[in-house]
Structure 1
Amino acid sequence: MNSIRNIGAGFVGQLLQAVVGFVSRTVFINYLAVEYLGINGLFSSILSILSLTELGIGTAFVYSLYKPLAEKNKQAIATIMRLYKKVYVSIGLAVFIIGLCVIPFLNQIVEEKPVTVVEDLSLLYLFFLFNTASTYFFSYKTALLNADQRNYVVAVNYAAFYIVQNIIQIIVLVVSQNFIYYLVTQLILQFLGNVTISFIVDKMYPFLKEFKKEKIDKVIKSQIISNAKATFLIRVGGVMVNNTDNIIINYFSGLVLLGYMSNYTMLIGLLSTFISQVFTNISASIAQVNAIESQEKQYEIFNMVNLANFWIYGFCSICIIILMNDFITLWVGEDFTLPLSIAVMLAINFFMVGMQNAIWTFKTTYGYFNEGKYLVILTAILNLAFSFTLGHWYGLLGILLATALSRLVTNFWYDPYIVFKLGLKIPPIVYLKKFLIYIGVISFAGALTYYLALFCDFSILINLIVKAILCLLIPNLIIILFYRKTPEFAKVTQTFMASYYSITKKIKKN
């Protein structure tokens, strides 16, 4: 029930945020130079790399909370959270201090400051740094709500402050056209949002202030440390793969192309955030299934989640290829569009990451943190090597291709191997066969949709509408026709309808 409530709240919250955020980005583009978009993406990537200081310990702490929450062991929860707080306060301070050390190198990172950017780069960077570092003083409490399947509380709080923040930022840009005021608004509202969620957690879990003299169980502490070491390496690899592209794009092509690219990544980010609501909010439920159900039941649930995963990400990937450039043209103009090959590579990377969702969810809830921990470092090294090589030859397309290749030859095959071999205890070849069929089905659906979309020769708005209808009908019909007789399809549709009726019933009640 909590999973359904979490997903419903997450979707509604994300929809509202998407609308307001989209309007805010439109105003941003119209009132500030495109180089500011590049700065936004560049500094965000730098600080994402600094977040390695977090060591991936958050995942280890969340995993350690599942059992005491299920057993309602207040003392264990309180002692884990107390340690969590100490660690995260230290991390926040470390991020801020290390972040300050980057300032002397900003002129090397941005070799030629654009004339359209009048503010001092160091001052702009400090706003981003403080915003990032301050979140660590509160985010450990958010983790408790997530582990306790109460993500809806986080979703509602975050959506409320995000909407208010963007409305004020829109007003600030229209009135002043000042990027500093824009960042000050963001800093204040995000800080207030974090303080509010901290207050809510204190009220919902008053026992957290108890057991101040009790120490955390040594077995639990040892498990957290062990898992944190493994997730640190996973986090290093993830950040180096996902957050270095903007820095490399800036190196080869500059802030203007990075600004154009940021519109594409923002739209794809909105899609990813919407979809992640499902998989984030079912993690705790899957953890319970893996803990108490038979392997046959676990495999049944995996197949259901994996089909839903393929359906959602496959459909959205086709939409990215067919609709993205037309949407950008209608939204901010043809000058902001990139070649179709870029949209294709973005869709491929989006699909590859998305298809790992079911695997990662099961791998994490099984507690397989140490398996494959060194492989992600290889992924990161290969990504950097491929990016600089292919980026030199093919520019932006090469950098995106490098990301896909580095994933393909490492964790893209190894993580499914671990889940099937150790967790589900089923030959991994079973997963590979299903995955290859998925690729065949979605490739056929995408090719057919693209071919029919070529006949659209109307105004840009009519083209977009007709192509959107094609994307909605063709891929979904092909998937339904191909999988309609499978057990996992029946389970997916049954679960969807149950969720739909539950959510609509709640809305009518309220």
Structure 2
Amino acid sequence: MNTDSRTVNSIRNIGAGFVGQILQAAVGFISRTVFINYLAVEYLGINGLFSSILSVLSLTELGVGTAFIYSLYKPLAEKNKQAIATIMRLYKKVYISIGIAVFILGLCVLPFLDLIIEEKPENVVENLSFLYLFFLFNTASTYFFNYKTALLNADQRNFITTINYAAFYILQNIAQIIVLIVTKNFIYYLSAQLIFQFLGNLTISLIVDRMYPFLKEFKKEKIDPIIKKQIISNAKATFLIRIGGVMVNNTDNIIVNYFSGLALLGYLTNYTLLIGILTTFIAQVFNNISASIAQVNAIESKEKQYEIFNMVNLANFWIYGFCSICIIVLMNDFIVVWVGESFTLPVSISVMLAINFFMLGMQNAIWTFKTTYGYFNEGKYLVILTAVLNLGFSFALGHVYGLLGILMATALSRLVSNFWYDPYIVFKLGLKIPPVVYLKKFLIYVLIITFAGITTYYIAQFCNFSRVINLIIKAVLCILIPNTIIVLCYKNTPEFHKVVQTFKASYQSITKKIRKG
């Protein structure tokens, strides 16, 4: 089991996450470019639509993953091998059942595909049901292996999962590029994805078995009833949270297809691909510090916890605020340079995508603390309200404003529900600080990033050169203007100094390790 310090674990995990994500983003970007050039845009729509349908089916997972990871923190800290082994054995049984359930539910969707896609695009030659089965098998099969990654994550060894996933993802995309160039066949493209994802899952499973041999012991011992009861309770709460998250984040593609068809959905998926790369890249930080924050919340004072929260929250705002401005200012220029002007959407779409990106991102610090405090039951019903509001707003605003209205609906549904409630829970119950303190800080964040965004956008409009030169100059403006404004506003605050100190310490630790070997 892991014996390294929180700092070493966090630095190692974040470093591996960044490197892995850069490599994956580069290869994935090349693969998408080849995809666009060799297959019709409707295939992008099919990719986005089927992925969204199966994300909804993943509700079967019931949120048990988060509940199990939380239950592993204490026995890992105490080196309690028996508790770890019994928890993982239960985890395995649950996830195998979930994989089977996802596959069966997925098969039940087959008769309704003609209703979801009323008119099959002429450019799509394959049978839609056959294509859907590829997506279904790929999704369901992951549950038979992926439960083991929870142990690595809880033990602050995310870097192993990251390296393994990155390696097989790169191999998968190289294979898919070759397949598209040689055959231009979507079936072969999906087959390559299925094969390499299976191999990646199998490899991580074997690695976990080798690193934690005691998992095969304690076969007669039963899980502690108290731990089992806690897992069930937390899983029930996270199930509701998962329903809300999926219904808010993964139904937009289905609704866009309903109002606008697969072609527009295909254009949108290029935007969401780029934003997804950003989101996954940033998530490396927060995913890899959650176990460290769990330790802070378990053993440190409330003052120390609040200090860490302010540091994480400022870093969160800085990263997501800067990236949101980049989405608004650079997205369309990048799409033009990448695949051509015909694939662009109105600037208003980029603005709404950036708003949703910022709103979701600003919850990261809150959710990390809420989860590591163990507050799974608090607010579990409110996320259902978020989901219902999102569907209602999406159909109402989508009917009037189309794609823009659907994206607006997502922002509105979050704003009136869990966007304010989760911070309330963390501050009121966890940090023991009046929630209005967070509200004031957040409003200041919004004012600063709005000012920085408007300033950057209007200055960027003076660029009138070639496409590539425009993109480069605007990128430089995005780097200079927002970051300068944020530094000037926060350079004298304790959290800013803490962020800088942490960055310096991380840099020194990394360079020291490099020098040693």
Coarse TM-score class (shorter-chain normalised): over 0.9
In structure 2, the residue matched to 1:321 is 328
The residue type paired with residue 111 of structure 1 is E
Q: Is residue 32 of structure 1 aligned with residue 34 of structure 2? A: no
In structure 2, the residue matched to 1:434 is 441
In structure 1, the residue matched to 2:187 is 180
In structure 1, the residue matched to 2:307 is 300
In structure 2, the residue matched to 1:229 is 236
Quick one: which of 402, 409, 422 aligns to 2:409? Answer: 402
Q: Is residue 489 of structure 1 aligned with residue 503 of structure 2? A: no
SS at match of 1:457: coil
Quick one: which of 356, 359, 378 aligns to 1:352? Answer: 359
Q: Is residue 107 of structure 1 aligned with residue 111 of structure 2? A: no
Q: Aligned residues: percent identity?
A: 83
In structure 2, the residue matched to 1:88 is 95
Residues 362-383 of structure 1: per-residue CA shift (max 9 Å, x gap): 0000000000000000000000
Q: Is residue 189 of structure 1 aligned with residue 196 of structure 2? A: yes
Quick one: which of 430, 455, 469 aligns to 1:462? Answer: 469
In structure 2, the residue matched to 1:54 is 61
- The equivalences for 1:441-456 within 5 A come to 441-456=448-463
Quick one: which of 421, 433, 440 aligns to 2:428? Answer: 421
In structure 2, the residue matched to 1:203 is 210
How many residues matched? 510
SS at match of 1:102: helix
Residues 119-141 of structure 1: per-residue CA shift (max 9 Å, x gap): 00011000000000000001110
Quick one: distance in 2 between partners of 1:486 and 1:97? 54
In structure 2, the residue matched to 1:155 is 162
Quick one: distance in 2 between partners of 1:383 and 1:267? 23
In structure 2, the residue matched to 1:14 is 21
Quick one: distance in 2 between partners of 1:17 and 1:508? 27
Q: Is residue 247 of structure 1 aligned with residue 254 of structure 2? A: yes
Residues 137-164 of structure 1: per-residue CA shift (max 9 Å, x gap): 0111000000000000000000000000
Quick one: distance in 2 between partners of 1:71 and 1:367? 18
In structure 1, the residue matched to 2:387 is 380
Quick one: distance in 2 between partners of 1:508 and 1:343? 43
SS at match of 2:376: coil
Compute the displacement of 1:500 (Å): 1.6
Q: Which runs of 5+ in 1 are unaligned?
A: none
Q: Is residue 474 of structure 1 aligned with residue 481 of structure 2? A: yes
The residue type paired with residue 417 of structure 1 is Y
SS at match of 2:95: helix
Quick one: distance in 1 between partners of 2:113 and 2:238? 30
Quick one: distance in 2 between partners of 1:222 and 1:255? 45
In structure 1, the residue matched to 2:5 is none
Quick one: distance in 1 between partners of 2:254 and 2:471? 32
Quick one: distance in 1 between partners of 2:507 and 2:387? 40
- Once superposed, what is the RMSD of the aligned Cα atoms? 0.5
Quick one: distance in 2 between partners of 1:11 and 1:272? 12
In structure 2, the residue matched to 1:216 is 223
Quick one: distance in 1 between partners of 2:507 and 2:171? 29
TM-score under structure 1 normalisation? 1.00
Quick one: distance in 1 between partners of 2:262 and 2:290? 38
Quick one: distance in 2 between partners of 1:11 and 1:54? 28
Q: Which runs of 5+ in 2 are unaligned?
A: 1-7
The residue type paired with residue 170 of structure 1 is I
Q: Is residue 291 of structure 1 aligned with residue 302 of structure 2? A: no
Residues 190-236 of structure 1: per-residue CA shift (max 9 Å, x gap): 00000000000000000000000000000000000000000000000
